[in-house]
Amino acid sequence: MHEDLRRRALESGKTVSNKAKSKQSSRGSSRGNSAPNSRSASRVQSRDVSDDEDLDKGNLSDDTTQSINSIDALLETDDINEQTSDVARQELSDVISQLLDRKGSNNKSREDALATYVKCLTSHYLAEVLYGRVQDLVNAFSRSIKAETSEKETTLALRAMALTAITFADSNLYETVAASLKRSISDSRSTAVKAAAIYAIGICVSFGGADEEEILDVMTFLLEIASSDGAFVDADDSAEVVTAALNTYGFLATQVEDLEQESEDAVATFLDQLDADDAKVQVSAGENIALLYEKCYTPREEDDESSSSDEEIPEDELPNDRPHMRSYLVKRYNPYHNTHEVLDKVTALASLSTKSMHRRDKKALHQSFASIAMTVQDPRLGLQSNNASKMVVRVHREGEMRVDKWWKLMRLHAIRRLLAGGFVNHYFEGNKQVLDALPMIMRGIGSSGMASPRKIGGNKGSKGKYRDVRRFVSADVTAA
């Protein structure tokens, strides 16, 4: 059955599970009245961003903070652009020429060229170098992916594809690469390649011009992988592949406005994965459960009437900095028919005692599921942690984002997994796709724009000065 489903999916270019087929008619009626989805260059700008920023306005000083999305002029300042390395720009331009001229190339030379391409695009925002070359580059990467001459070349090509998507806004990119990526996930003999392709398709469908229905198709495909323990793509019991599918599902779920039709089956699948032997699989499944519970609440609208049946959060249990949360969020649907079962499972994992698990994995499991349990118990509390100061992303001294929502954590996971240490530079150098996905609050910015860290304290004594303030979410909320 799995083989037939996979073959039909590859032939049609889209993957639809039996569960999705049974719900197709109900989806049509529930979504039929909504405006058609546009194919934008970046699908990651979801309603969650604006809602959360509006929610937090009451906690911010008007004269010292603002959303980074609202200051386009800041992205164009010379100060930011000067941070881009001329050396990296030239190195990228040279290696692109090598990648596009495959005559006489061999596996080793392609691996080296792809590694350089990945290094350059990871470390800096260099979209202008890609101008006019994206289609040719995508074709070159696709050839390496299809040939799968070596695991290293293929995984590098997949990462290069994803980096191209997040760097250069191309509304046709996903349509071009979708079939190739799905084929790699299904047919590759390497679980490492399958996992890399899953992460790549998540980035490409998010930043490559796909609409919401295409995102939902990929989510259905990923859910089939997770529910079959990888067997759906011939990766039976592969924790690496299942974890990739779970992580990517969560990232894509942050971009879909309404998941009422999908929530029941998805939570059921994630509950099954809580019994997995691998801690990373368990944590990824648990985080997805928390996200789906969080998404069943949306901001109160004008035509929503207060109801005595609405659950109230006791005053002493409200977050200190968000006292207006109670009246702001309204429950729209039940994410799962048996929340008591979900709560029992996640609570048990928060205090699991076993000698068969590595101490570090056990600590990550306990910390993650303590936060997950709080969200399942009351989704309006968002992402909670015992140490609120560690739930802040700071980019140098000017940018700050509180990771107080599961959708923020999912996006942070996905983008940092791809950009790694270059995450900070992509912010400062104006990668709008990253900025739109994870908007930050800018503090103390003058009219001249964000000050470059390279121009502050330019003496040798200040070298490494910003290393300590590049603080990201700590292990207690990012354990995976």
Burial 269-303 (b: 16+ CB within 10 A, else e): bbbebbebebbbbbbbbbbbbbbbbbbbbbeeeee
Confidence category of residue 398, pLDDT binned at 50, 70, 90: low
Dump pLDDT digits (tens) for 71-84. 222 223 333 333 35
| Residue 341 vs residues 271, 331, 337, 347: alpha-carbon distances, Å | 9, 19, 9, 10
* 8 A C-beta contact, residue 120 and residue 419: no
Q: pLDDT tens, 106-137?
A: 999 999 999 999 999 999 999 999 999 999 99
* Residue at 261: amino acid letter: Q
DSSP code of residue 38: P
Q: Which helix (H) or strand (E) holds 257?
A: none
In angstroms, rounded to a whole number, what is the distance separating the alpha carbons of residues 399 and 434?
13
- Across all residues in the chain, what is the average pLDDT? 77
Give the side-chain half-sphere CA count within 13 A for 53: 22
What is the rounded CA–CA span in Å between residue 278 and residue 361?
9
φ and ψ at residue 446, rounded to 5 degrees: -85, 180
- Grade residue 443 by pLDDT with cuts at 50, 70 and 90: low
Q: Are residues 253 and 410 in contact, defined by beta-carbon separation less than 8 angstroms?
A: yes
* Two tokens, residue 40: 């934008």
Measured CA to CA, the distance from residue 256 to residue 268 in angstroms comes to 19
Instruction: Please give the Cα distance from 249 to 2 (Å, whole number).
Output: 19
Please state, in angstroms and rounded to a whole number, the distance separating the CA atoms of residues 273 and 227. Answer: 8
Report the SS3 class of residue 400. Answer: strand
Q: In whole angstroms, how far apart are CA 166 and each of 121, 138, 163, 415, 469?
A: 10, 13, 5, 9, 25
Give, for 334, the enclosing helix (H) or strand (E). none
Burial class (CB in 10 A: 0-12, 13-18, 19+), 433: buried
Q: What pLDDT is stored for residue 64 in this prediction?
A: 23
pLDDT of residue 306: 57
Report pTM.
0.75
CA 306 to chain centre: 34
Q: Which two tokens stand for residue 13?
A: 């270019």
Beta bridge partners of 393: 401
List pLDDT tens digits, range 297-334: 998 887 766 544 444 444 444 444 454 455 578 999 99
Q: Are 190 and 230 in contact (CB under 8 A)?
A: no
- Find the range with the poorest average confidence among 19-23, 149-153, 334-338, 412-416: 19-23
> Comparing 58-62, 144-148, 238-242, 348-352, which segment has the lowest mean pLDDT?
58-62
Q: What does the pLDDT average to over 441-452? A: 46
The sign one gets for the Cα dihedral 431, 432, 435, 436 is: negative
pLDDT beyond 90 at 278: yes
Delimit the domains of the chain by residue range: 84-210, 259-301+326-433
Position 57 pLDDT exceeds 90:
no
Q: Are the CB atoms for 411 and 398 separated by under 8 Å? A: no
**pLDDT higher for 365 or 95?**
95
- Alpha-carbon span 310 to 326, nearest angstrom: 10
Cα separation, 467 vs 18, whole angstroms: 50
